């Protein structure tokens, strides 16, 4: 399937067929997320595939009892790791970009940036900023995953309305990992019409904003 077709076909699915999802298809969805771009190649995402009914019910409860979660055959718990923005990890990521020729820096400039620059070292700004940065990257990966799901004949629904704290407890996660979103996954049992979108002229501008 062409990516443009997947973009046009993608819709939020809330009703699922009672069919198991093949492991190979789930892995292709995860691989799409793995291939997503991330800030400084930090890759702060962690994806947990949940098929156990008791855990899915627990996640649904954390999401306010949403049926789209409780009835899904698979739920991917999309998590983030703030440790990927540590000084050590950021230096390694920037060093990789230097070696690839993307940054024309010397080691002394690299060390100065890592130690002193808020732009390239979010760890200097605290845990909350690192979580926000990680969340940005996770959302990019999820977008890739939703499109690959369409390519595999599957459906998804992006669930951000949930208690990260409760979902964290359901999944028994370590403190350095946080829950950002839930992605129910399965074979669609509905064909929802595309939701309305603003006209391109309302949201795009050439050279100058004219809103």
Q: Domain for residue 35, yes or no?
A: yes
- pLDDT tens digits in sequence order for the chain, 211 residues long: 899 999 889 999 999 999 999 999 999 999 999 999 998 788 999 999 999 999 999 999 999 999 999 999 999 999 998 887 777 777 787 888 889 898 888 888 888 777 666 665 565 566 777 788 888 999 999 999 999 999 999 999 999 999 999 999 999 999 989 999 999 999 999 999 888 999 999 999 999 998 7
Q: Domain for residue 5, yes or no?
A: no
Q: What is the CA radius of gyration of the chain?
A: 19
Q: Domain for residue 97, yes or no?
A: no
Q: Where in the sequence is the domain holding 182, given as residue range(s)?
A: 14-85+127-188
CATH (domain of 34): 3.40.109.10
Q: Domain for residue 27, yes or no?
A: yes
Q: At what angle do helices 127-151 and 23-34 cross, to 10 degrees?
A: 130
Q: Domain for residue 69, yes or no?
A: yes
In total, how many domains does the chain have?
1
Residue 195 contacts by C-beta under 8 Å, 6 or more apart in sequence?
Answer: 11, 12
Q: Domain for residue 102, yes or no?
A: no
């Amino acid at each position: 399937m062409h990516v443009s077709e997947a973009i046009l076909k993608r819709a939020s699915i809330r009703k699922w067929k009672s069919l198991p999802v093949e492991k190979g298809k789930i892995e292709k969805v995860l691989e799409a997320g793995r291939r997503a771009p991330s800030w400084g190649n930090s890759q702060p995402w962690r994806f947990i595939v949940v098929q156990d009914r008791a855990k899915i019910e627990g996640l649904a409860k954390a999401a306010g009892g949403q049926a789209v979660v409780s009835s899904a055959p698979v739920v991917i718990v999309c998590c983030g790791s703030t440790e990927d923005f540590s000084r050590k990890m950021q230096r390694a990521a920037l060093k990789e970009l230097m070696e690839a020729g993307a940054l024309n820096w010397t080691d002394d400039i690299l060390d100065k940036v890592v130690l002193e620059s808020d732009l390239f070292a979010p760890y200097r700004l605290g845990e909350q900023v690192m979580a926000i940065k990680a969340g940005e990257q996770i959302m990019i990966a999820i977008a890739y995953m939703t499109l690959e799901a369409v390519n595999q004949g599957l459906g998804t629904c992006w669930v951000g309305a949930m208690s990260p704290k409760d979902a964290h407890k359901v999944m028994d996660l370590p403190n350095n990992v946080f829950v950002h979103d839930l992605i129910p996954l399965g074979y669609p049992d509905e064909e929802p019409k595309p939701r309305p979108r603003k006209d391109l002229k309302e949201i795009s501008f050439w050279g100058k904003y004219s809103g």
